[in-house]
Amino acid sequence: MANITFPDGNKKDFDKNSTGLDIARSISDGFARNCIAMELNSEMVDLNTKITEDANIRFITTKEPEAIEILRHSASHVMAQAILRLYPDARLTIEPAVEDGFYYDIDMQPVSEDNFPKIEAEMKKIIKEKLPITRKEVPKKEALKFYKDEPYKLEMISELDDHTISFYEQGEFTDLCRGPHLPNTGFVKAIKLMKVSGAYWRADQTKAQLQRIYGTAFFNKKDLKKYIHFLKEAKRRNHRKIGEAMELFSFHEEAPGMPFIHPKGMVIWNILIDYWRKEHLAAGYTETKTPIMLKRNLWEQSGHWDNYRENMYTSVVDDYDYAIKPMNCPGGMLIYGNRSHSYRELPLRAGEIGLVHRHELSGVLSGLFRVRAFHQDDAHLFMTPGQIQDEIIGALTLSERIYGTFGLGFHIELSTRPEKSIGNDKQWDVATEGLRSALDVYGKEYIVNEGDGAFYGPKIDLHIKDALGRTWQCGTIQLDMSLPERFDLSYIDRDNEKHRPIMIHRTIFGSLERFFGILIEHFAGKFPLWLSPVQAILLPINDELVSYADEIRILLEKENLRIDVDSRTESLNKKIRDAQLDNIPLILTIGKKEKESKTLSVRTLDGSVKYGIAHNDFIEKTLEHINRRKLTFDIF
């Protein structure tokens, strides 16, 4: 008998060589039907794996977070099987499951999305056949013989150190794979092929070009439909499209990966920076500015020259090597080290919105989300060990307040000491416990990523959540035990002796350009009134009222409102429609009646219309709405 321990601590004996499916059925047939795999002694395995000794078991049902990756891995095999049925000369390579689906790199004739319906139809046939998916292990020599006519699989097997190679079979289809997989193809309830692109074997341009076919899969059609809707909504919110339509920014071949911010974009940009400055001033921060280009010896001292050189832009000036800064930190260390400090001055909080440059490969550049030149809202906090908790709570509170202003939620992840790190055990224990205790006092749930910290210290990452539920890692709070040591920073403590300060790196926006892009997609271009580059547009209903509309524009601009006048000879309906397409929050109609009564007819971007609003009333309520940085359009 094999004694099986379940996650709740219960134990039960089963016949040796019972499979996971047998044990699941002993619980109930309904439960077994929802199981797709199992965790056997902390290893993920197929449900039909035989259990030959005492073991701990956790079943993976279709509801478990691990299930979707297993599903998509099996779906990639279904796709490969369908392609081989339709294109027998195709040669398979690799098929990973990725975040939102899967892909398979295949050496075959070029295909396009026009071929997808035919491939999907064949995939659905395979799914309907409910072919059992079974694992087979063979000696490496036998595996090489089996794949003697498959050059890519042959190459992969040859490189493996394993003496035993695992295959997975479903019907006539066999593939090299570690698994685990679904019990049968019928579990793939909903599939869709997404796109096709070119890829080189082993990412080597000298080798064969392959067809990379992407797909996705879900356990039910409802989830697939929801995902397709999400993709359409994400496409509608694409910040590059909206940025171009609203004339916020652009990119040019003369500076790849370096955005050009247009006048309307600069309105939003400056509002973000002004707000950042106001909040930081209120939180006890000072602001600094460091040079964009510094000598090589500084980057050697900071460690960047040895560890980050390939991402830095360099130059030679007067026979000296210089580098354009990829981050603001070393300059901040020079400012702190410029004079001596007393413990009475600590904590010191210094922020900088500095322009940094990092060389990114052209293939990974992506609008404002991945650029080569960006502004980082760094802050460096210097403190004594006893101040760590309060400073971290302060940074978290400030981050929450700023994110909340934009309607962004966030979750927290704590990353601890990695295998390769500097500092001793005591330093790491003090630093990590400082972060952990601060998070406990802060009271918000957090995830611990063991061993995922920076080499110079543990860190807290803040992942914001946008209107579509996507998460973006923007903020970070990092304890650094390296730079204070490298720059010999110190303060005089109560004992009149020099001590090394604790230093925290902290960002909230992260890359300001990236945060700008996130906001564009978060609001879908429909910025709240306080952020909108044009807050209101005046629409005179005929040419005779254009001069009066200009008078109202001047009146409103004196109150620092951002106003346009649409003086085109177009119908009122067209002007309203164009203003809505331009995402202007307030559309003010000026007719004869409004002129005589000195009122405004106001249409807000959410579709509500109010008539007969007096000028003073409009100004008072609009300014109150702006000053409160409200996100809705409930102004009147």
Per-residue pLDDT at 192 exceeds 90: yes
pTM: 0.84
Contact indicator for 261, 512 with CB cutoff of 8 Å = no
Catalytic residues, by residue number, are 329, 358, 376, 378, 380, 459, 505
**Between residues 545 and 306, which one has the greater pLDDT?**
545
The percent of residues in the chain predicted with pLDDT above 90, rounded, is 85
| Average confidence (pLDDT) over 425-442 | 88
The mean pLDDT of the chain is 94
Domain architecture of the chain: domains with CATH: 2-61 (3.10.20.30), 67-226 (3.30.980.10), 249-290+326-523 (3.30.930.10), 292-324 (no CATH), 536-627 (3.40.50.800)
Distance from C-alpha of 227 to C-alpha of 470, rounded to nearest angstrom: 12
Q: Would you say how long the chain is, in residues? A: 636
Contact indicator for 635, 625 with CB cutoff of 8 Å = yes
**Interval 374-415: pLDDT, tens:** 999 999 999 998 899 999 999 999 999 999 999 999 999 999
- In this prediction, residue 507 carries a pLDDT of 96
Q: How far is CA 482 from CA 329, 455, 479, 615, in A?
A: 11, 9, 9, 59
Per-residue pLDDT at 225 exceeds 90: yes
Per-residue pLDDT at 476 exceeds 80: yes
pLDDT band at 457 (very low <50, low <70, confident <90, very high): confident
Q: Where are the beta strands (DSSP E) in 77-155?
A: 91-92, 97-98, 101-107, 134-139
Distance from C-alpha of 476 to C-alpha of 479, rounded to nearest angstrom: 10
Token pair, residue 554, equals 């001047």
Identify which of 315, 358, 405 has the alpha carbon closest to the alpha carbon of residue 513: 358
**Interval 277-295: pLDDT, tens:** 999 999 999 999 999 999 9
Which amino acid is residue 213, in one-letter code? I
Reported as type and span, the H/E element at residue 479 is strand 471-480
Task: Please tell me whether residue 165 adopts helix, strand or coil conformation.
Answer: strand
Per-residue pLDDT at 423 exceeds 80: no
Distance from C-alpha of 366 to C-alpha of 358, rounded to nearest angstrom: 14
Q: Residues 75-86, buried b or exposed e (16+ Cβ, 10 A)?
A: bbbbbbbbbbbe
- In this prediction, residue 372 carries a pLDDT of 96
What is the tally of helices (H) and strands (E) in the chain?
A: 20, 35
pLDDT band at 421 (very low <50, low <70, confident <90, very high): confident
First to last CA, the chain: 75
Contact indicator for 394, 283 with CB cutoff of 8 Å = yes
The percent of residues in the chain predicted with pLDDT above 70, rounded, is 100
Is residue 273 classed exposed, middle or buried when 0-12, 13-18 and 19+ CB atoms within 10 A define those classes?
middle
**Interval 591-613: pLDDT, tens:** 999 999 999 999 999 889 999 99
Per-residue pLDDT at 422 exceeds 80: no
pLDDT band at 588 (very low <50, low <70, confident <90, very high): very high
- In this prediction, residue 585 carries a pLDDT of 96
Per-residue pLDDT at 455 exceeds 80: no
- In this prediction, residue 428 carries a pLDDT of 85
CA angle 189, 194, 197 (to 5 degrees): 140
Distance from C-alpha of 511 to C-alpha of 534, rounded to nearest angstrom: 24
